């Protein structure tokens, strides 16, 4: 099972914000990050903790960050209303959508660029002469390590084109810590194919125009994807929800936020209208049905 980083932020508001019989109010956040962010958080864990504590101090809040290694723990705590908010990988959310929609509210996500949606490119060297996902048999493919969203896009296209899951066809799957390395893998023929985001592709081509001349984009995903989904428990106090969105809406204005956002590689956090999830609901239903049909 792929490693998953789960961290719970315990937020204890000072009596100036939530005074209840002179006791401090405990505000529990349960966040799950499928490890597209794992290596970044692993390298930046101390910096992240220090930054969160400093933000808390400036807003009369004491923050204590704890890390846990299992998604199901967060899901179980959320169902029992032991935490106010959970952050889940999108595939996990859609597998449990019916129950989560009943107990959740105030959905949100984050973005890695100014565009709210993430788009993926399926790339290969022009000299290979490949055309699409039907050419992946006995080939090497490079993707972002722990990026379940891009892996599912690969698998869905393989199921549609080849009537088989990609894992039964390819020679090897390389998981790279950085997307820029995927482009270089394809450029130097270490991998036959690669999957990267539009943002990474645009940056790499701008830095080295030779990449755009020697590598071609075989297919582009629809601009419907998000890296994760966050939601509050339906019984969470509205004050907690409002404080979260107030702070995250102005993240770039927070203390040392520019440095930290650059370190963690995401641009912003924003609320989700459920209508924004409709295309993804169709997408994942199609994928789950294809998995049942061909496996």
- H-type alpha helices, 112-270: 148-162, 179-187, 198-207, 209-214, 238-249, 257-264
Instruction: Pick the range with the lowest mean pLDDT from 46-55, 96-105, 106-115, 239-248.
Output: 46-55
CA atoms within 13 A on the CB side of 257: 16
pLDDT of residue 63: 53
Per-residue pLDDT tens digits for 27-76: 566 555 444 444 444 444 455 555 555 555 565 555 555 565 667 888 88
Helices (H), the chain: 38-58, 71-79, 90-95, 97-103, 148-162, 179-187, 198-207, 209-214, 238-249, 257-264, 278-294
pTM, two decimals, is 0.80
120-222 falls under which CATH superfamily? Answer: Periplasmic binding protein-like II (3.40.190.10)
DSSP class of 24: P
* Domain span(s) for CATH 3.40.190.10 in the chain: 4-115+226-290, 120-222
**Burial (CB count <10 Å: 0-12, 13-18, 19+), residue 135:** middle
Which of 222, 241, 286, 269 has its CA nearest to residue 94?
286
**Out of 52-66, 109-123, 177-191, which region has the weakest mean confidence (pLDDT)?**
52-66
User: Which residues, at least 6 apart from 113, have a Cβ–Cβ distance to it below 8 Å?
Assistant: 197, 198, 199, 267
> Judging by beta carbons within 10 Å of its beta carbon (0-12, 13-18, 19+), is residue 171 exposed, middle or buried?
exposed
DSSP count for the chain of H helices, then E strands: 11, 12
Nearest 10 degrees: Cα torsion 80, 85, 88, 94? 70
pLDDT surpassing 70 at residue 189: yes
Domain 4-115+226-290: which CATH number of 3.30.930.10, 2.40.50.140, 3.30.365.10, 3.40.190.10:
3.40.190.10
Of 46, 186, 197, residue with least CA distance to 119: 197
Give the pLDDT of residue 120. 97
């Amino acid at each position: 099972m792929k490693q998953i980083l789960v961290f719970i932020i315990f937020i204890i508001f000072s009596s100036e914000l939530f005074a209840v019989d002179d006791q401090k109010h405990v505000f529990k956040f349960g966040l799950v990050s499928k490890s597209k962010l794992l290596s970044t958080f692993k390298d930046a864990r101390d910096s992240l903790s220090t930054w969160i504590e400093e933000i808390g101090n400036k807003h009369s809040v004491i923050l204590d960050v704890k890390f846990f290694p299992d998604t199901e723990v967060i899901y179980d705590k959320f169902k029992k209303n032991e935490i106010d908010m959970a952050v889940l990988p999108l595939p996990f959310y859609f597998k449990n959508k019916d129950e989560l929609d009943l107990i959740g509210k105030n959905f949100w996500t984050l973005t890695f660029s100014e565009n709210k949606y993430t788009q993926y490119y399926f790339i290969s060297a022009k000299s290979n002469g490949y055309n699409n996902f039907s050419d992946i048999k006995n080939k090497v493919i490079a993707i972002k390590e722990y990026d379940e969203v891009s892996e599912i896009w690969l698998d869905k296209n393989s199921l549609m084109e080849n009537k088989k899951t990609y894992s039964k066809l390819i020679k090897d799957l390389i998981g790279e810590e950085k997307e820029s390395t995927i482009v270089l893998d394809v450029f130097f023929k270490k991998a036959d194919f690669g999957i990267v985001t539009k943002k990474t592709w645009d940056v790499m081509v701008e830095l080295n125009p030779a990449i755009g001349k020697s590598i071609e984009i075989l297919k582009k995903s629809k601009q419907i994807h998000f890296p994760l989904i966050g939601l509050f428990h339906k019984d969470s106090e509205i004050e907690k929800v409002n404080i979260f969105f107030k702070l995250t809406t102005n993240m770039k204005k927070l203390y040392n936020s520019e440095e930290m956002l650059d370190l963690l590689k995401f641009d912003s956090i924003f609320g989700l209208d459920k209508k924004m999830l409709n295309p993804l609901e169709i997408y994942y239903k199609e994928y789950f049905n294809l998995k049942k049909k061909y496996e």
